[in-house]
Amino acid sequence: MTTMRDLFRGYKARIKRDYYYKYQTDEERLENRPREVPLKDFKILLEYWADEKIAKKARTNSESRRLITETHTAGSRSFAQISHNMALERALKATREQPPAPISDVDVYVKTRKRESTRTYKLPTEVVEKKVENVKKLLKDGTIDEAEEVVYGGKDHSRTFLVGRLIEKREPKKKIARPLPTIPEKYVASLTEQIRDQIAKEMEEQVQKKVEDNVKLMMSKLAEKNPGLNLDIELTSATKPTVEPSQANNGSD
């Protein structure tokens, strides 16, 4: 999402440069609008860019960008990709006796500030070139600490300096250990008593059901052996199977 956002911002900047600043009036801009932008959307952009607050903000941002004299020349490639490629190149050139050294911020700085003599840059190159040459000399002499001092410029940078734009910029939040919630002893005792009563009730019901099932089975077998015996079985938690008095002496012994 960060990459998509940055690409869209760059696209809008090119549209504004080539189709807004290039012409003086909105009539000319509408006549020469980019064909990939619908007319309705382009009119909204013209109104937005003509707003005084937006225009003032654009001027302020433009002036702030002019103060930056050490812009990189890496183009659309991320610093992380450049650092990875540099590490691969060092690994290919390394030997068993001399393993590759890790890529430092100073290495990334020198690589991303390299300027070609055949190209023309918006900002002056003398300051950057002089600084890069100084850093290279310090690296060659083995004074990495002094080289870092030149790169950092005595400033405290964030943890993502010379890492890449896709890294989370905010500092990670420190997790605060919170004490576990305490439960009142009175509530624990009450809950334990309720659970104990519930378990006792369930066990009592299970035992009673087992007894009733056994009595039913016994009576059914007794009725099979004594067809003339009339049994009236009422199974409850407090009753027992009973025999009719009139039938007490019927049947075989």
Mapping DSSP onto H, E and C, the string for the chain reads CHHHHHHHHHHHHHHHHHHCCCCCCHHHHHHCCCCCCCHHHHHHHHHHHHCHHHHHHHHHHHHHHHCCCCCCCCCCCCHHHHHHHHHHHHHHHCCCCCCCCCCCHHHHHHHHCCCCCCCCCCCCCHHHHHHHHHHHHHHHHCCHHHHHHHHHCCCCCCCCCCCCCCCCCCCCCCCCCCCCCCCCHHHHHHHHHHHHHHHHHHHHHHHHHHHHHHHHHHHHHHHHHCCCCCEECCCCCCCCCEECHHHCCCCCC
235 neighbors 217 (Cβ within 8 angstroms): no
Query: In terms of pLDDT, which residue wins out, 159 or 136?
Result: 136
Q: What's the pLDDT at 49? A: 92
Residue 101, CB-side half-sphere exposure with 13 Å CA sphere = 8
Residue 109, CB-side half-sphere exposure with 13 Å CA sphere = 22
| Average pLDDT value for residue range 215-229 | 76
Of the ranges 104-108, 111-115, 193-197, 232-236, which one carries the lowest mean pLDDT score? 232-236
* Claim: this prediction has a pTM higher than 0.75: no
Q: What's the pLDDT at 52? A: 92
- Amino acid letter, residue 115: R
- Amino acid letter, residue 154: G
Q: What's the pLDDT at 62? A: 83
pLDDT at 165 over 70: no
pLDDT at 32 over 90: yes
Q: Report the mean per-residue pLDDT for the chain.
A: 77
Query: In terms of pLDDT, which residue wins out, 195 or 65?
Result: 195
Distance, in Å, from the CA atom of 250 to the CA atom of 234, rounded to the nearest integer, reads: 21
pLDDT band at 171 (very low <50, low <70, confident <90, very high): low
pLDDT at 151 over 70: yes
Tokens of 242: 């009973």
Q: What's the pLDDT at 237? A: 44
Query: In terms of pLDDT, which residue wins out, 145 or 92?
Result: 92
| Average pLDDT value for residue range 213-219 | 81
